[in-house]
Homo-oligomer: A and B are copies of this chain.
């Protein structure tokens, strides 16, 4: 990776884990809605900062992933924050469309009610519309 000097300075502050990853929380910048949680490696951080579009590392597919690359549901990076321990990122983003691969606005649509999980949000778009036969992204 050839990080820019500016990105290199930021990257040096991030404590990546043994797998080279850091947890990233994506929050809609204006409403405060927590959209999703995913993982980033150094390159994902660097590309997100350089392009202004959020990139993650897919642990299941073992590759870099630009959010929305298949679905069109991109995340524009508004602000990049790091926590006190340096091991978690908070990304303030502007989410185009829906963040969740199920077609829901955010991934946290199940909530505990009387000891059971219930769905508190319905899909706003059909997942097939987002992905067709492609893997999610």
Chain A positions near chain B (C-beta within 8 angstroms): 4-7, 9-10, 13, 23, 25, 27, 31-34, 36-37, 49, 79-85, 88, 90, 100-102, 104, 107-112, 114-117, 120
What 8 pairs across the A-B complex have the smallest Cβ distances?
A: A32-B32, A6-B115, A83-B107, A80-B112, A81-B108, A90-B108, A37-B88, A84-B107
Please tell me how many copies of the chain the complex holds.
2
Given contacts A37-B25, A112-B49, A112-B79, contact A117 B84 (CB under 8 A): no
Interface SS of chain A: helix, strand, loop or mixed? Answer: mixed
Contact A27 B34 (CB under 8 A): yes
A114 to B49 alpha-carbon distance, docked (Å): 10
